Each structure stands twice: as C-alpha cells, then as structure tokens.
C-alpha cells in the first residue's frame, strides 16, 4: 500500500547506505521517473532528461565519478537528472505544435485573443528571453528590462545565468517529485551534488550543452543507512505570514 503524500514526505530521508541484498524493480523506478515528468516547469519547456542507470558496469564508473560516496557505492540504481537548457527551441516548438492541435484546424485570424497570446509567448517571448551570444545579449536585455522596470513591473531575470537557474529549478522540482514517489512505495534515495559532472557526462554520453543537476542514489535503506536524526531549523524562523 502506497503512503500518503505527507507520509512519503516524512518517510523520505537522504539514505547513504542501501541494503546489498534488496533489488529494485526497474518498472517501479521508471514509473517514479514518469511522475517526475509531471512536475511544474517554467513555461512548460520541460528542459530536463533522466538517465535511469541499472547496468552494473556503468554504476561502477559513476560511483567513481561521484567521488566514491557510499550513497553511490551501495546504490542498486542511479538516476541522473540532466538540465537541457540547450533544447529550448525544440521544446518551444513542441509547445506551439501542441497548442495548435488543441486550438483545432483554423486560420490564425480566427484564433482567440488568448490563443494568439499563447502562440506569441512561445514564438516570440521565449526566443527573446533564451537567445544569447556569449552572454553579451543577456546583459543587453538585462539593461533594457531594468529600464522598463523603472516604469512598470517587468520580468528581470533575462541573463544566461538567470535562465540556467530557472532550468535547474525546474529540474529540482522534478527530482523532488521522483524522490517522493520513491518514498511512497518504500524505496529510498539520496540526492548527490558531489560529483565530477564532466566525467558523469562523458560516461553517459551526455551532450556538451547539457548540465548535470544531480545524481540520485536509489535502493532500500540499510539499518545504518541514515547517519543521524532529522534536523530542521525551527518552523517559526522560516515561516512568515503576511
């Protein structure tokens, strides 16, 4: 029986040591990755990919690239969350195709105001925000939007570094969907940022323009797999009701 959302959230811990004698069912892990793909994502661009690693040889190579961490060394499987900001054009076109199919076959002149705005968003605004050349266009856009912001509220995160953050935030949301889904069925995970990302990309054959968001160790927790009691800053220090 699957856990409720709250139960899964409370059950999830970063497990550093997994049981050596308990295997994971590939299809169950894959289903959790499918849940990851349902996470909210900026502009619905879905600039992510997930590498589900089950091959023992590849697991050993990735363990070394993950600096030999126990969470990688004892993992039965690994899931590598990859940011594909470089695919924004392809994803924008996919959104346009989906919108047009949803609107039905009709000339552009017959589109409603809302439909025209949606198509303009992906056809013009997204290219404006994401197009850059060695960072120079980003700074030019940044200055322009700051000037606009003197007169009215406007979007200000338009530099290449800003868009990288946006893409990584979306990938992080997807990763959390995955880990909570795993917890719901009694599987454990450990998100790892400590890795040689260049080696990880080389091992998996990931394109140059992609970026590693995190590597997630997967398995079933060993009795000593959690290194300590859960610590959280008091809720009153982070909660602000306005």
Separation CA 88–CA 102 (nearest Å): 21
Separation CA 32–CA 21 (nearest Å): 22
Domains of the chain: 1-227 (3.40.109.10)
Predicted pLDDT of residue 83: 98
Per-residue pLDDT of the chain (242 residues; tens, 9 = 90+): 899 999 999 999 999 999 999 999 999 999 999 999 999 999 999 999 999 999 999 999 999 999 999 999 999 999 999 999 999 999 999 999 999 999 998 888 889 999 999 999 999 999 988 988 877 788 888 888 889 999 999 888 888 889 999 999 999 999 999 999 999 999 999 999 999 999 999 999 999 999 999 999 999 999 999 999 999 999 999 999 99
Nearest to 47 by CA among 211, 215, 214: 211
Is this model's pTM higher than 0.75 or not? Answer: yes
Predicted pLDDT of residue 155: 83
Predicted pLDDT of residue 142: 86
Predicted pLDDT of residue 136: 79
Predicted pLDDT of residue 159: 86
Q: What are phi and psi of 204, to 5 degrees?
A: -95, -5
- Do residues 22 and 218 lie in contact, with contact meaning Cβ atoms separated by under 8 Å? no
Give me the helices (H) in 74-218, please: 88-103, 113-120, 126-130, 136-148, 160-184, 197-204
Give how far the C-alpha of residue 182 lies from the chain's centroid of Cα atoms, to the nearest Å. 16
Residues 6+ apart with CB under 8 A from 50: 33, 36, 37, 79, 80, 81, 82, 174, 178
């Amino acid at each position: 029986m699957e856990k409720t959302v709250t139960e899964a959230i409370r059950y999830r811990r970063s497990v550093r040591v997994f049981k050596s004698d308990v295997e994971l069912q590939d299809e169950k892990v894959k289903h959790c990755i499918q849940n990851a793909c349902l996470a909210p994502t900026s502009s619905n661009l879905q600039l992510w990919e997930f590498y589900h690693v089950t091959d023992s040889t590849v697991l050993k190579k990735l363990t070394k690239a993950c600096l030999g961490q126990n969470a990688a060394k004892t993992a039965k499987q690994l899931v590598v969350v990859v940011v594909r900001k470089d695919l924004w054009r392809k994803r924008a076109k996919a959104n346009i195709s989906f919108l047009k199919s949803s609107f039905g076959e009709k000339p552009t002149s017959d589109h409603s105001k809302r439909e025209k705005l949606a198509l303009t968003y992906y056809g013009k605004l997204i290219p404006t925000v994401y197009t850059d050349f060695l960072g120079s266009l980003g700074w030019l856009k940044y200055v322009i939007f700051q000037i606009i912001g003197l007169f009215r509220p406007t979007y200000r995160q338009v530099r290449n570094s800003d868009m990288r953050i946006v893409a990584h935030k979306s990938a992080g949301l997807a990763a959390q969907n995955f880990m909570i889904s795993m917890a719901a069925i009694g599987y454990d995970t450990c998100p790892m940022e400590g890795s040689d990302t260049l080696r990880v990309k080389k091992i998996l054959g990931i394109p140059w323009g992609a970026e590693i968001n995190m590597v997630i160790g997967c398995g079933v927790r060993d009795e000593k797999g959690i290194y300590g009691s859960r610590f959280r800053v008091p809720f009153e220090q982070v909660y602000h009701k306005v």
